[in-house]
């Protein structure tokens, strides 16, 4: 069993930056792949980025390439999402998810454990 808690969201102006954190409690988190997803008001939840257990594999949705960076510190049981050059279209609740059986999956159905989300609001 793994519990995930996201933090780092907030209100930022267009062009600004935020770093989201996903802290895990539970056993063997260092062996889990982790994904970030987001859900804007009235929209379906969508994939943002994912990383495998040893950071050898990373994936980004097109809108995140060049602006967002995923990383992890297994000693701290934490995965980060650095978001730069934020745009109003990035406004959403951001969720992290984890699973030990996959390699940096990009589908929500691949993940077993989910956090409660953190709100990111980008003003124009």
Q: What is the pLDDT of residue 27?
A: 76
Q: Is the pLDDT confidence value at 26 over 90?
A: no
Sign of the alpha-carbon dihedral angle for 44, 116, 80, 93: positive
Backbone angles phi, psi at 30, to 5 degrees: -60, -15
Chain CA centroid to CA 64, Å:
11
CA 20/CA 17 separation, integer angstroms: 10
CB contact at 8 A, 121 and 18? no
CA 65/CA 70 separation, integer angstroms: 10
Per-residue pLDDT of 63-110, as tens digits, reads 999 999 999 999 999 999 999 999 999 999 999 999 999 898 999 999
pLDDT band at residue 28 under the 50/70/90 scheme: confident
Per-residue pLDDT of 30-58, as tens digits, reads 999 999 999 999 999 999 999 999 999 99
- Cα torsion for 92, 97, 103, 108, to the nearest 10°? -60
């Amino acid at each position: 069993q793994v519990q995930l808690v996201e933090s780092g969201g907030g209100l930022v102006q267009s062009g600004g930056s935020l770093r989201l954190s996903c802290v895990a409690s539970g056993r063997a988190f260092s062996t889990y792949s982790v994904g970030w997803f987001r859900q804007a008001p009235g929209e379906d939840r969508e994939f943002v980025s994912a990383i495998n257990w040893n950071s050898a594999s990373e994936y980004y949705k097109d809108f995140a390439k060049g602006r967002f960076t995923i990383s992890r510190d297994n000693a701290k049981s934490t995965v980060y999402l650095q978001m730069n050059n934020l745009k109003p279209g990035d406004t959403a609740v951001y969720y992290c998810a984890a699973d030990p059986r996959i390699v940096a999956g990009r589908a929500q159905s691949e993940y077993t454990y989910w956090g409660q989300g953190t709100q990111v609001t980008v003003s124009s």
